[in-house]
Amino acid sequence: MKKIIYTILSAAFLFVSCTDSLSLEEISVDPNNPVTSTPALLTTSSQGSILGRFGVDWDRYAGTFVQTFAGNHATGVRADQFDLQSQDFQGTFNTMYVKGFKDLQTVIDVMGPELEAWGHVGIAKIMTATGLGYLTDVYGDLPWSEALDVANITSPAYDTQEQIYTAMLTMLQEAIVDLDKASLVTVGSDDLVYGGDLSKWKATANLLLARYNNHMSKLNPGGSATAALGYVDAAKAAGLTSNAGNYQMNYNEDDLNFLNPWYNLWTNNLIIAGEKFTNLLTATNDPRGLAYWDLIAFPVGSGAVFATITGKPNGDPTGSNSYSPVGPNTYYGDAGSPVLIATYFELLFIEAEAAMRSTNPGRAATALNAAITASMDMLRPTILANGVPEADITAYLAAFAAETSGTVTMEKIMTEKYKAMFTMNVESWTDARRHDFQYPSYLALPNNAKLSEFPRRGFFPQSEVQNNAANVPSGQTMTSRLWWDN
């Protein structure tokens, strides 16, 4: 059954690859006629269209903004130098709208209520909020309240980011209620994330509510902390108490059309290890380095070989040196590796940060220690398989996961979160913006930077600029701040 599901999703991926150049104006026919589809098929397809876009374009280039990654050639170097244009990134925006949100709307508004498929409705609302959260944290304002009424509106107005956040939070709260309703249609293997385990989806809704409330830390430091901590507690009560509940997109190494996008990136190394990040890992003896990056081998003396993790200086042009990629020997870069969307250890880092804002350093220290340990636990098999001894893991935890109420600081929390959130780069970029690029402390403008400060947002896609010009917000630059960044 799983192979059949992946085959269906591979076909969906072939479709969404053809939608990268489409605009919202060009969605004239809903391909998901309820007569010919089912909630199960649309759930599988939409997971490809929404979750399958994580680890692609913005997740990659945001990694250069926070200098975990560095650009190696072509668009990677331009992103590394903050020299992007509207036409560079429209695939994720268009795929989520043209295919993903449309499928999910059909489940939420039509199929789910008619068939009493409330499990599918709850999942659809969570995935819609996931996609909107990703896009709004890149672009700010988005088409939403009019975006999917394709029969009547071909040039939808833009909602403010505040309105988008309100819609997201409402959907997540509604999803929790929907998931508790009795359903006549069972969710099963059509759900590639949790295999139909609705309790894990309920925990994920609370995890995302904690994340998005925490994003409002600059707008309302105390209120956002209180709200985030409440949803942290709710996520734990719903069962998110280990990495087994991680929200991730699962891939199939046996299907060439459905491989982990970081593995696909490894074939051309558009972006690779950033020098400052690899230096940070080395300076702190962080054993996760070999779960993040493949080694690069250098000849030494009479035929001997020395292998090391090698990073590239941010902003440097393409050169002749070799640098470490997210390759197939890492946790993240194998053909069948999952792509992380939101995780248990992220929940704990949110708890630590929010507790510090709530002047509760004891809770912050406990959560920080647990977050680092959870990150290490997830990666331990890969770390050990790559030859790192268990003693190195033990030493790292003793040095960095033993904070107390008297030693914990916001810098320690955010720096350790930055290290652990590897490849979750849009979220790390959000953290950096919320904290005005204070953490990690080494962040500085890259070589050959085309901007005088770090990017705060992305340009709207060229397809929108061309086809929805009357509504696309004007006057924005990459240094214009988002609603929650003021």
pLDDT cut 90: percent of the chain above it = 80
State residue 57's pLDDT score: 87
431, pLDDT greater than 90: yes
State residue 303's pLDDT score: 62
> How does the average pLDDT of the chain come out, rounded?
91
Q: Which residues contact 15 (CB under 8 A, 6 or more apart)?
A: 99
Q: What is the DSSP letter of 48?
A: H
Name the band, by pLDDT with cuts 50, 70 and 90, for residue 254. Answer: confident
Name the band, by pLDDT with cuts 50, 70 and 90, for residue 252. Answer: confident
Report the Cα–Cα distance between both ends of the chain, in Å, rounded: 49
Measured torsion, CA atoms of residues 387, 389, 394, 396, in degrees rounded to the nearest 10: -50
- Over residues 220-237, the mean pLDDT reads 98
State residue 6's pLDDT score: 47
Mind listing the pLDDT tens digit for each residue in 62-121? Answer: 999 999 999 999 999 999 999 998 777 788 999 999 999 999 999 999 988 899 999 999
Mind listing the pLDDT tens digit for each residue in 435-470? Answer: 999 999 999 999 999 999 999 999 999 989 999 999
Q: Please state the φ and ψ torsions of residue 293, each to the nearest 5 degrees.
A: -125, 145
Tell me which amino acid residue 402 is.
Answer: A
Mind listing the pLDDT tens digit for each residue in 315-369? Answer: 999 988 889 999 999 999 999 999 999 999 999 999 999 999 999 999 999 999 9
- Over residues 263-276, the mean pLDDT reads 92
Q: Please state the φ and ψ torsions of residue 219, each to the nearest 5 degrees.
A: -75, -40
Q: Which two tokens stand for residue 181?
A: 């309703």
User: Rounded to whole angstroms, how far apart are CA atoms 199 and 112?
Assistant: 18
370, pLDDT greater than 80: yes
Domains defined along the chain, listed by start: 2-245+340-464 (1.25.40.390)
Q: How large is the C-alpha radius of gyration of the chain?
A: 22
SS3 of residue 181 by DSSP: coil
Q: Which two tokens stand for residue 432?
A: 């950096």
State residue 24's pLDDT score: 45
Q: Is there a contact between 459 and 84 (Cβ–Cβ < 8 Å)?
A: yes
State residue 31's pLDDT score: 40
In 3D space, the residue among 137, 207, 190 whose CA is nearest the CA of residue 8 turns out to be 190
Q: Which two tokens stand for residue 38?
A: 């089912």
> What is the reported pTM?
0.92
- Angle value at C-alpha 224, between 218 and 227, nearest 5 degrees: 170
Q: Please state the φ and ψ torsions of residue 378, each to the nearest 5 degrees.
A: -60, -35
Q: Please state the φ and ψ torsions of residue 305, each to the nearest 5 degrees.
A: -125, 130
Mind listing the pLDDT tens digit for each residue in 272-318? Answer: 999 999 999 999 999 999 999 998 876 666 666 567 899 999 999 99
231, pLDDT greater than 70: yes
Mind listing the pLDDT tens digit for each residue in 28-59? Answer: 334 444 446 899 999 999 999 999 999 998 99
Mind listing the pLDDT tens digit for each residue in 17-28? Answer: 444 544 444 433
Tell me which amino acid residue 159 is.
Answer: D
User: Rounded to whole angstroms, how far apart are CA atoms 168 and 149?
Assistant: 18
User: Rounded to whole angstroms, how far apart are CA atoms 350 and 187?
Assistant: 30
pLDDT cut 70: percent of the chain above it = 91
CB atoms within 10 A of CB 128: 26
Q: Is there a contact between 116 and 185 (Cβ–Cβ < 8 Å)?
A: yes
